[in-house]
Amino acid sequence: MQNTEANLSKNNHIKSSHIKTSHVKTSHVNKAAMTEQQVLIAGGGHVGLSFALLLAHHGIASTLLEKNSYPTISPNDDAKRSHYLDSRNTALSRRTVQIYQEIGLWDELQSHACRIDAVQISEQGSFGRAQLNKAEEQVESFGQVMENAWLGRKLLLAAQQEPLITLIDNANVIAVDQQSDGVTLSFSYYGEEEHEQQLQASILVACDGRDSTVRQLLGISTTTYDYQQAAIVGVVETDKPHEHIAIERFSPAGPLAVLPLTDPEGDGNDEYQEGYRRSVVWVCPTGEEDKYLEDDVHFLATLQQAFGARAGTFKKAGRRGAYPLTRVLADKQVDGRCVIMGNAAHTLHPVAGQGFNLCMRDAHVLAQMMSRQVLKGEDIGNPTLLKRYEKARQTDQKRVIRFCDAVVHGFTHPNPAVKLARNVALVAFDKLPNIKPLIANYAMGLKS
């Protein structure tokens, strides 16, 4: 289970805005080549940074604009959480791990990643049970769980150190103008006084979140659905070691998850014991958030009732946040030389942890297609190419969207007949041959 936009730059407390010259880097390729091949990326969260790093891996320069202020960090900094990061965690699928391995970043990430060796699935108060085990599926793991604090820090460090990536923070996009051979992006920023600037490139990729400014400026409408739910996300300690097991539990309120976490390292949770620390995603109806946020005793008791003895006794609760759950789908993901990506393209329910991993597969495919254009000496922002990208990603995207919605609605439907059917389906999933490998491969992002 994974959060909605895992956005590195989520910070509502920043009141001033300026370009930090220490973070703005000029590409080391020659200026003519950079002008010809440059990509503009709006939105510097996890998806935007990852896409810029994917492009750099293929030798493609990009300029990334982020509306908030990036922190000043160095490779020698410890891993303490900073105010710009929240307490959320991300479940990285095997395919996402492979993508980070391809660009040489996984060695930097894995020290704070906790592998998932097994997944237990059940419904509260029902007989249906299923389990995925890595030995049975003959995989190293089903994925990895990582705190956003660490993932964001490492992505930012890698981008700061990459000469093909120019970072501009505190940049507010105000206009997008498309020409036949390029895109002009206008943005404002603050130094000693407010400034306005324009950048031109062959292509603009918008990774600026669910409420995307670029998407709105392009006049791209969205199809939205309010689940009337909120996700309560935080960290807990149990008296039973997690043993690298992820627990998916369905309750009348919605899907829940307890995921294994690594030992803390300088994040303010030093009292947590080795192997007893877990990420929790608790879904509740909209309007009930406060009682789970403000009262640790009530929160822990509610978790205990929902999960029973599967995770052991819930002993302590760390800080947590509440995030409204709404599905937002862009009605189109390509407009001329502009691509809508990440949560700007599809914001999904966090059930099964598919959202961020789907975004990474999108980014990987587009980076590969653009790389092939460069090798052929052709235009990386060619609208025909971008339309091919949009079409190529439809099958994977639609499958994931349908799966997430089917799980959410199927496991919260109160009809007794529907409840019986889904529990029979869980048992069948657990017992029938050939079903588990298929579902496991989809969940790991290996079938798209």
**Where does residue 157 rank: exposed (0-12), middle (13-18), buried (19+ CB within 10 A)?**
middle
Give residue 33's pLDDT.
34
Q: How confident is the model at residue 421 (pLDDT cuts 50, 70, 90)?
A: low
Question: Which is it for the CA torsion 5, 6, 8, 11, positive or negative?
Answer: positive
CA nearest neighbour of 93 among 440, 405, 347: 440
CA-CA-CA-CA dihedral for 166, 167, 170, 173, to nearest 10: 50
Looking at the predicted structure, is the pLDDT value of residue 165 above 90? yes
At 44-76, the pLDDT tens digits run 999 999 999 999 999 999 999 999 988 877 776
Beta strands 39-42 and 203-206: pairing type?
A: parallel
Q: How confident is the model at residue 255 (pLDDT cuts 50, 70, 90)?
A: confident
Looking at the predicted structure, is the pLDDT value of residue 78 above 80? no
Q: What's at 146, amino acid-wise? A: M
Top-confidence residue, 300 or 424 = 300
> Domain for residue 432, yes or no?
no
Give residue 210's pLDDT.
95
Sequence-distant (≥ 6) Cβ neighbours of residue 120 within 8 angstroms = 129, 130, 131, 245, 246, 247, 248, 310
Q: Which of 36-45, 270-279, 357-366 has the lowest mean pLDDT?
A: 270-279
> Domain for residue 184, yes or no?
yes
Give residue 438's pLDDT.
57
Question: Taking a C-beta distance cutoff of 8 angstroms, is the pair 182, 201 a contact?
Answer: yes
Q: How many domains does the chain have?
A: 1
Q: How confident is the model at residue 189 (pLDDT cuts 50, 70, 90)?
A: confident
Hunting for tokens 């609208």 — which residue is that?
Answer: 383
Give residue 269's pLDDT.
42
> Domain for residue 346, yes or no?
yes
Domain hosting residue 185, numbered range = 31-399
* Mean pLDDT, rounded, for 258-286: 73
In DSSP terms, 250 is beta-bridged to: 123, 255
> Domain for residue 7, yes or no?
no
* Mean pLDDT, rounded, for 226-244: 91
CA nearest neighbour of 364 among 93, 42, 7: 93
Give residue 443's pLDDT.
58
Which two three-digit tokens encode residue 59?
């030798």
Give residue 10's pLDDT.
32
Give residue 447's pLDDT.
61
Which two three-digit tokens encode residue 88?
């959320």
In DSSP terms, 254 is beta-bridged to: 251
CB atoms near residue 384 (< 10 Å): 7
CB-based burial, 354-374: b 16+ in 10 Å, e otherwise: bbbbbbbbbbbbbbebbbebb
Give residue 166's pLDDT.
95
Supply the mean pLDDT for the chain: 81
At 102-148, the pLDDT tens digits run 999 999 888 888 999 988 887 766 656 677 788 777 778 888 998 88
> Domain for residue 9, yes or no?
no
CATH number of the domain encompassing residue 102: 3.50.50.60
Top-confidence residue, 334 or 195 = 334
Tell me the backbone φ, ψ of residue 447, rounded to 5 degrees.
-120, 110
Q: In what order do the strands lie in the sheet with 314-330?
A: 129-133, 118-123, 245-251, 254-260, 277-285, 222-238, 314-330, 346-347
Give residue 215's pLDDT.
98
Q: How confident is the model at residue 436 (pLDDT cuts 50, 70, 90)?
A: low
Q: How confident is the model at residue 193 (pLDDT cuts 50, 70, 90)?
A: low
* Mean pLDDT, rounded, for 340-355: 90
Looking at the predicted structure, is the pLDDT value of residue 8 above 60? no
Looking at the predicted structure, is the pLDDT value of residue 82 above 80? no
> Domain for residue 283, yes or no?
yes
Looking at the predicted structure, is the pLDDT value of residue 243 above 80? yes
Top-confidence residue, 250 or 9 = 250
User: Considering just the CA atoms, what is the radius of gyration of the chain in Å?
Assistant: 22
Question: Taking a C-beta distance cutoff of 8 angstroms, is the pair 62, 22 a contact?
Answer: no
pTM for this structure?
Answer: 0.84
Q: Which of 190-194, 226-230, 378-382, 422-426 has the lowest mean pLDDT?
A: 422-426
HEC assignment per residue over the chain: CCCCCCCCCCCCCCCCCCCCCCCCCCCCCCHHHHHHHCEEEECCCHHHHHHHHHHHHCCCCEEEECCCCCCCCCCCCCCCCCCCCCCCEEEEEHHHHHHHHHCCCHHHHHHHEEEECEEEEEECCCCCEEEEEHHHHCCCCCEEEEEHHHHHHHHHHHHHHCCCEEEECCCEEEEEEEECCEEEEEEEEECCCEEEEEEEECEEEECCCCCCHHHHHCCCCEEEEEEEEEEEEEEEEECCCCCCEEEEEEECCEEEEEEECCCCCCCCCCCCCCCCEEEEEEEEECCCHHHHHHCHHHHHHHHHHHHCCCCCCEEEEEEEEEEEEEEEEECCCEECCEEECHHHCEECCCHHHCHHHHHHHHHHHHHHHHHHHHHHCCCCCCHHHHHHHHHHCHHHHHHHHHHHHHHHHHCCCCCHHHHHHHHHHHHHHHHCCCHHHHHHHHHCCCCC
> Domain for residue 378, yes or no?
yes
Q: Which of 24-33, 170-179, 234-243, 290-299 has the lowest mean pLDDT?
A: 24-33
Hunting for tokens 């393209």 — which residue is that?
Answer: 345
Percent of the chain with pLDDT over 70: 74
Across 59-68, 83-92, 416-425, which has the greatest mean pLDDT?
Answer: 59-68
Q: What's at 228, amino acid-wise? A: Q
